[in-house]
Amino acid sequence: MYSLWIANKNYSSWSLRVWVLMQTLEIPFEEHLEQFDGVGSTSTFVNFSPSGKVPCLHDGQLRLWDSLAITEYLAESHPLVWPATLEARAWARCASAEMHSGFSVLRNHCPMSCGLRVQLRNTPKALHRDIERIENLWHEGHTLFGGPYLAGSAFTAVDAFFAPVIFRFQTYGLPLSNIAQKYVAHMLGLPAMKSWYNAALKETWRETEHETEVQALALKITDLRKG
Ligand SMILES: N[C@@H](CCC(=O)N[C@@H](CS)C(=O)NCC(=O)O)C(=O)O
């Protein structure tokens, strides 16, 4: 059986991608959740992940330490990871790769913190550009493949890659087009997304670095987390 190493569900956006993918496609795995321990997470995370980062998938002696590489590895034995048709598969791979290597302004300006509802102190133009590009991608996916998921009627890896953006949009209350709002609502209703979110709300530990990062960027409206 696979073992998946992840970090705090409230904060760990990269962990969420692989976790939600495996849960939704019913690929069995054993979950290992390690808390972020501040600036030096790497010092303890190297015990199970060669890069000192999560997610890290263990399959026997194999260690896979990057969400995109893990996704491609899983796709070799689980055909439902990517869409069934060549066109949808190619589009899904492009959109996932763009998410994997881009959108740094959204990533840096709106760090994931599932349980918070906040209002940004300022919204730079570059953030609007990232949001607009995401909305265009989502519109394109729905137009080309008919929805309700990004590459058609089935949940695939491309939805998993945008899963952290769903929680970011919820936390920061960013204004979205109707199609984007509909997709966000659909994703928030996915059993695996609900299960991750509920677990995130139950986490009582806080990591100072993540907390101060959000505080510097936004005004807190509500904290729905326990404790
Ligand atoms: N490219 C990696 C990035 C993974 C990553 O940055 N993970 C963060 C958590 S969400 C991490 O492990 N941070 C710990 C640290 O930097 O010490 C992936 O796709 O998996």
For residue 202, the CA-to-ligand 1 centroid distance in Å is 22
Name residue 186's amino acid. Answer: H
Model pLDDT for residues 12-71, shown as the tens digit of each residue: 999 999 999 999 999 999 999 999 876 555 678 999 999 999 999 999 999 999 999 999
Average pLDDT, the chain: 96
> Ligand 1, atom 13: nearest CA belongs to which residue?
53
8 lines ligand 1 (CB under 6 A): no
12 lines ligand 1 (CB under 6 A): yes
Model pLDDT for residues 6-19, shown as the tens digit of each residue: 999 999 999 999 99
pTM beyond cutoff 0.95: yes
- Asked if 180 and 148 touch (Cβ cutoff 8 Å), the reply is no
| Across 175-200, average pLDDT | 97
Q: How far is CA 160 from CA 116, 151, 154, 180, 221, in A?
A: 21, 11, 12, 16, 27
* Index of the ligand 1 atom closest to the CA of residue 69: 19
Cβ-proximal residues to 142 (8 Å cutoff; 6+ apart), any chain:
148, 150, 179, 183
Domains of the chain: 2-80 (3.40.30.10), 83-197 (1.20.1050.10)
CA 188 to CA 60: how far, in whole Å?
Answer: 33
Q: At 78, is the pLDDT very low, low, confident or very high (cuts 50, 70, 90)?
A: very high
> Ligand 1, atom 12: nearest CA belongs to which residue?
53
For residue 11, the CA-to-ligand 1 centroid distance in Å is 11
CA 68 to CA 70: how far, in whole Å?
Answer: 5
6 lines ligand 1 (CB under 6 A): no
Strand partners, 6: 33
49 lines ligand 1 (CB under 6 A): no
Task: Say how far residue 127 (Cα) sits from the centre of its chain.
Answer: 18
For residue 146, the CA-to-ligand 1 centroid distance in Å is 33
